[in-house]
């Protein structure tokens, strides 16, 4: 009971702090006769579409355990960031919220500068549905010139199963394709995007019997790290070691960096990228 009361008090303190940071006037409420900063409790309850009495008890640490739906409404009313929303759920329910997938159109300038810092190492940012949303110059020259493709075609699975020139450049296409399909399945499920991939899977299955067969195997893999062997149009056979990294706070985004596997590979990459 003591632990529960302590948790309720921490939740109440967090709610009060976030509420008092909001600008009432900017959110359409009157600025007259306000003794404390931020929204009133009743105003926050109105934004969250919940009972004012219930919210007041919750903030006072007397409301009991809230439901996930109530916490979602409060998070929206408070305009919490994803990190703040997760913290709210940890205080209120002792667990993070369910993952919610959101489509991605691009990346921050900071992430793009990170990619560009890998001068001789191709690097890309992909979504949970394996759309490539950012890349560096090395990736464009060694892997694929993503900028020359329509946005809808910048999908790794579409490239692997739909473009003969991409397939012919892979020195071990079958192994690589099976790995990609299994990692794609795991990424989509982890990011809560299982529903979003339905159209893509249907399109790929209709166009490629090989994809359909690999998808029906139901294999899952972590992307992790490994080796990619390419027959590059200019450099010839080249070997790259790749490592996959998650983007903090964004389970739907992944960074993949490809490093030359040996000194000879590195030198030939430098010569092309000069």
Q: Structural domains in the chain? A: 2-93 (1.10.260.40), 109-273 (3.30.450.180)
Instruction: Output the pLDDT for position 150.
Output: 95
Helix (H) / strand (E) containing 187 = helix 173-190
The Cα-based distances of 163 to 175, 189, 203, 207, 230 in angstroms read 17, 26, 14, 11, 15
Per-residue pLDDT of 238-260, as tens digits, reads 999 999 998 876 767 899 999 99
pLDDT on residue 2: 36
pTM of the entire structure?
0.70
Low-confidence ranges of the chain (pLDDT < 70): 1-7, 99-103, 105, 249, 251
Dist. CA 7–CA 1, nearest whole Å: 10
pLDDT reported for residue 101: 65
**pLDDT given at position 249:** 67
Collapsed DSSP state (helix, strand, coil) of residue 148 = helix
Contact 179, 209 (CB under 8 A): no
Per DSSP (E only), the strands in 90-170 are 123-127, 132-135
Closest CA to 166 of 182, 177, 151, 150: 177
Query: Given this model, what pLDDT does residue 215 score?
Result: 95
């Amino acid at each position: 009971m003591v632990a529960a009361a302590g948790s309720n008090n921490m939740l109440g303190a967090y709610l009060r702090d976030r509420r008092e940071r909001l600008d009432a006037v900017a959110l359409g409420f009157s600025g007259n006769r306000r003794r404390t900063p931020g929204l009133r409790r009743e105003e926050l309850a109105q934004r969250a579409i919940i009972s004012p009495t219930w919210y007041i008890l919750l903030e006072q640490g007397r409301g009991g355990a809230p439901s996930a739906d109530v916490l979602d409404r409060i998070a929206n009313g408070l305009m919490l960031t994803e990190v703040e929303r997760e913290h709210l759920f940890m205080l209120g329910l002792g667990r993070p919220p369910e993952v919610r997938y959101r489509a991605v159109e691009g990346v921050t300038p900071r992430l793009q500068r990170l990619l560009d810092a890998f001068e001789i190492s191709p690097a890309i940012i992909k979504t949970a549905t394996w759309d490539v949303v950012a890349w560096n110059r090395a990736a464009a020259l060694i892997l694929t010139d993503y900028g020359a493709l329509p946005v809808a075609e910048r999908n790794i699975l579409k490239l692997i199963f739909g473009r003969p020139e991409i397939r012919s450049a892979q020195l071990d296409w079958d192994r690589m394709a099976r790995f990609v399909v299994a990692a794609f399945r795991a990424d989509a499920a982890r990011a809560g995007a299982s529903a979003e991939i339905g159209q893509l899977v249907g399109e790929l299955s209709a166009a490629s019997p090989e994809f359909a067969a690999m998808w029906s195997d139901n294999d899952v893999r972590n992307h992790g790290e490994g080796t990619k062997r390419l027959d590059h149009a200019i450099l010839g056979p080249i070997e790259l070691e790749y490592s996959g990294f998650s983007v903090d706070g964004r389970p739907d985004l992944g960074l993949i960096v490809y490093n030359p596997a040996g000194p000879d590979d590195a030198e030939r990459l430098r010569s092309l990228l000069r």
